[in-house]
Structure 1
């Protein structure tokens, strides 16, 4: 199995409330990145990415050596239970502009979500950072 990095755009981003719970000590790198071909919608305390004509701000997270399997299982469990499905997509790493294949969690079809987050950046939407 190819170990792809993860593109995170909501509560798993560095400094957000689920980062330390699921990612702390399990990553080798966390770098700003952008996902094109998707729109970001507000959800019940966390955002949903949906394929569409847009751009989403987030971070590319690379698992630490030996942590990939456990990290993948943990993220699949928490994200799957919250209405997401994992898909492989190209993501642009901002430091060098390189397109990198990564796992992205998208809203499953039929998942109810809230208003569109203009600009595609969950952090810039305003409001509290904790649930």
Structure 2
């Protein structure tokens, strides 16, 4: 079993490839990035980024494996950024990869006091309905 401190990260918002925090924080610090899903979670819109919470749904995202030499620095940077935005880091047991494999990973979920926006029924922040026209991650 992987030591908790070396878990990969399940990301579902601005840290996904193509979104604005990916290149700023993850580019050059990862060794693998794979499409993945997190069952048992719901996704809510937020102020420019989404929030996952436990629930009867599935969230779409990316499983990111940090380069070993960058892990500690990356974990600290993500904890600071996500903590400032109202998230808590938690270990999840059921991140599913495309081939059906289940992986244990860190993810950031909304802290209990975080005010959530509307539910994103697709579970995918990149494919959410937008009432005022298109917007990009």
State the number of aligned residues: 129
Q: 1:65: how far off?
A: 2.5
| Structure 2 gaps, min length 5 | none
Length-normalised TM-score, structure 1: 0.95
Number of the residue aligned with 1:129: 136
Instruction: Tell me the secondary structure at the aligned position of residue 19 of structure 1.
Output: helix
Find the counterpart in structure 2 of residue 92 from structure 1: 96
TM-score using structure 2 length = 0.91
* Residue from 63, 76, 79 that aligns with 1:73: 76
Q: In structure 1, the residue corresponding to 2:83 is in which secondary structure?
A: helix
Could you report, residue by residue, the CA deviation over 1:77-125 in whole angstroms, capped at 9, with x for unpaired residues?
000000000000020111x211000001000002001100011000001
Cα distance in 2, alignment partners of residues 12 and 34 from structure 1: 15
Q: Which runs of 5+ in 1 are unaligned?
A: none
8 A contact 1:17–1:129 mirrored in 2: no
Cα distance in 1 for residues equivalent to 2:103 and 2:24: 25
